[in-house]
Amino acid sequence: LPVLAIVGRPNVGKSQLVNRILGRREAVVQDTPGVTRDRVSYKAEWNDKRFTLVDTGGWEPDAKGINASVAAQAEVAIDLADAVLFVVDVTVGITATDEHVVKMLRGTDRPVIVVANKSDDDRRDLDAYELWNLGLGEPHPVSALHGRGVADLLDLIVKTLPDTSAVAKQEVGGPRRVAILGRPNVGKSSLLNKAAGEERVVVNELSGTTRDPVDEQVELGGRVWRFVDTAGIRKRVHLQQGADFYASLRTTAALEKAEVAVVVLDVTEPISVQDLRIIDLVLESGRALVLAYNKWDLLDDDRRRYLEREIEQDLAHVAWAPRVNISARTGRHLEKLVPALETALDSWDTRIPTGKVNAFIAELVQEHPHPVRGGKQPRILFGTQASSQPPTFVLFTTGFLDPQYRRFITRRLREVWGFAGTPINVNMRVRE
């Protein structure tokens, strides 16, 4: 889906606008600085056109950290978005922080829509027109609070956004797109450097005005791969506060562009909540998954036993993901990454013909029928794989299947077809 990113200083009304765009009160309106929202991206729709809305303002810094964090917001937005919504508060006008963002936005080739928020009445519209001075095109007066001007804005947004994500479109048939993910210090940039075969310095200051190439093409195992959003890995954005928020934003951005994620884990440390959250983001995104256990050179026998137990306990839900034990420092087993990526992508691309799906269901039902509930036994009439990337199955049934039975079906699908490295979805359509 095309991506729209919202950027602006704290308190200009970004959350309010997000709510308006989504048409529901999902985003939280916050007046407390320093509050982090968990969600950073939402699925939005207007006039049958769907897009992903990324709210880069989910973390609002206190006065001290404003410039750095708003700049980080803008930078991430420019990297990942097909269009940027720049929100200004007309009742305040342009501040130094806004100027900073404007400088960055002028340098991008992405379309920028200037929103003059808090234009609650006609008088404010006049203030809004002063924003022509920003040099970012026509300002659009809106009152996110009252809904004024929002429909027009949405019309403009869907007109501005491309049909599919520009990133996804330009690369059909090109190199497969890989995201390297993981919490700080697990060795992402070491892995990238080793894979790319050089210690490259990417010059890209936070204040820079140009859009840098954020993806890198790397030849590995005889074919070219595209590592996406590597700017976020190579470059160290040092933020005192909000670092977790920007890390999630980066992860979301990278997943949006990627087909397969390599989640890097540090074997010298216990598997953490943050590791699990990153894996959850991959599952939510429906991308293929490879787990890279890094710093293997530092592993001793004691830690190794713990590690295996942790993996069994905490990572059982992704036991299907190919695993590579590597050392980004020594280069150990790095070559195993390629077959792991290939396996995961093959599974992600898999299409099972409908005939085979139904033969599978017939056999499964015969061997293990759905239990009778309240005198009724739901039947599966027909099944098909509706899509791939990731494989998504639809079962047409005469009643709701028990969650337990659905898990059983998922398990059997993996037993029969493997699907190593890809999440799979099993959906139901109940026909009365």
* Site stretch for ligand GDP (CB under 6 A), options 72-80, 111-119, 185-193, 354-362: 185-193
Pairing assessment for the beta strands 223-227 and 216-220 based on DSSP bridges: antiparallel
Asked if residue 403 has a cis previous peptide bond (ω within 30° of 0), the answer is no
Map the footprint of ligand GDP across residues 189-208, applying CB under 6 A.
189-190
What is the C-alpha end-to-end distance of the chain, expressed in Å? Answer: 33
Phi, psi of 181 (to 5 degrees): -125, 160
In whole angstroms, the minimum distance from the beta carbon of 11 to ligand GDP comes to 32
Give yes or no for a contact between 230 and 192, defined as CB atoms under 8 angstroms apart: yes
15: left (phi over 0), alpha (psi -120 to 50) or beta: alpha
- In whole angstroms, give the CA distance from residue 68 to residue 65: 6
Q: Which of 295, 348, 383, 385 binds ligand GDP (CB under 6 A)?
A: 295
- The DSSP symbol for 251 reads H
Q: Which of 297, 314, 342, 349 binds ligand GDP (CB under 6 A)?
A: 297
Nearer to ligand GDP, 168 or 180 (CB): 180
* Site stretch for ligand GDP (CB under 6 A), options 12-20, 177-185, 220-228, 402-410: 177-185
Nearer to ligand GDP, 44 or 264 (CB): 264
In whole angstroms, the minimum distance from the beta carbon of 298 to ligand GDP comes to 5
Nearer to ligand GDP, 70 or 233 (CB): 233
Pairing assessment for the beta strands 112-117 and 139-141 based on DSSP bridges: parallel
In whole angstroms, the minimum distance from the beta carbon of 343 to ligand GDP comes to 22
In whole angstroms, the minimum distance from the beta carbon of 233 to ligand GDP comes to 6
Give the nearest residue (CB) to ligand GDP.
187
* Site stretch for ligand GDP (CB under 6 A), options 186-194, 195-203, 356-364, 390-398: 186-194
List Cβ neighbours of 302 (8 Å cut-off, separation of 6 or more).
Answer: none
Give yes or no for a contact between 53 and 14, defined as CB atoms under 8 angstroms apart: no
- In whole angstroms, give the CA distance from residue 265 to residue 218: 22
In whole angstroms, the minimum distance from the beta carbon of 405 to ligand GDP comes to 41
Map the footprint of ligand GDP across residues 325-364, applying CB under 6 A.
327-329
Map the footprint of ligand GDP across residues 218-247, applying CB under 6 A.
233
Residues engaged in binding ligand GDP (CB under 6 A): 182, 184-190, 233, 294-295, 297-298, 327-329
